Amino acid sequence: MTGMQFVLSGIGLFTLAAAIVDFRTGHIPNRLTLFGACAGVGLHVYVHLALLMQNASLAERLLAACSNVALGAVVCGLVPLLLYRTGGMGGGDVKLLGTVGATCGPMLGLEIELYAFVLAALYAPARLAYQGQLLRGLSNSVMLLANPVLPKARRRQVPAELLSSVRFGPAVFVAALVVGLTRWWAQ
């Protein structure tokens, strides 16, 4: 098994657990993301030390692993953190994507994150259409996008009960599965 396959297996198991918990409860607990982050960082460092960069010194391999972990966590957590700060995403989702980035590194982590956002963007209107609320959802979205540029007198608030949310953990799992399978067979 290659280093990439170790990492893909680990991230697949972690995102599966997060997806199940998020689907059932609507939350991704801190214990789960902390365990996933510790296991993912350990796996990432192991792959760098044992399987990659065999001709480099131990210090160089350790520095490369730690910088890859840190860069992956920051890069993959930046956009979700901005969305969290504006109320567009939950904190557990931010930690989940940061853990994905720390485990997989910045490039693979961003690929999983992009696929997860695309899947969620495709799922949300499909769910609204199935519930017969697509037009209302689009109307609310237009209002939310227009409010920051409108004068205060013309702004309309969208009541909280008219807003809908999407559980993001399952989208991250499916994205990790798709990326994992495509990368696994490419090896």
For the segment 119-154, what is each residue's pLDDT rounded down to a tens digit?
998 998 888 888 888 888 788 778 777 777 888 877
Whether the pLDDT of residue 159 is over 90: the answer is no
Whether the pLDDT of residue 63 is over 80: the answer is yes
Q: What is the pLDDT of residue 92?
A: 95
Domain 3-114+169-186 has CATH 1.20.120: yes
Tell me the pLDDT of the chain averaged across its residues.
Answer: 88
- Asked whether 76 and 100 are in contact (CB, 8 A), the reply is yes
**Which of helix, strand or coil describes residue 15?**
helix
At residue 163 the predicted structure's pLDDT band, cuts being 50, 70 and 90, is low
CA dist 161 and 173 (Å) reads: 28
Q: What is the pLDDT of residue 178?
A: 96
The residue-averaged pLDDT of 111-122 equals 95
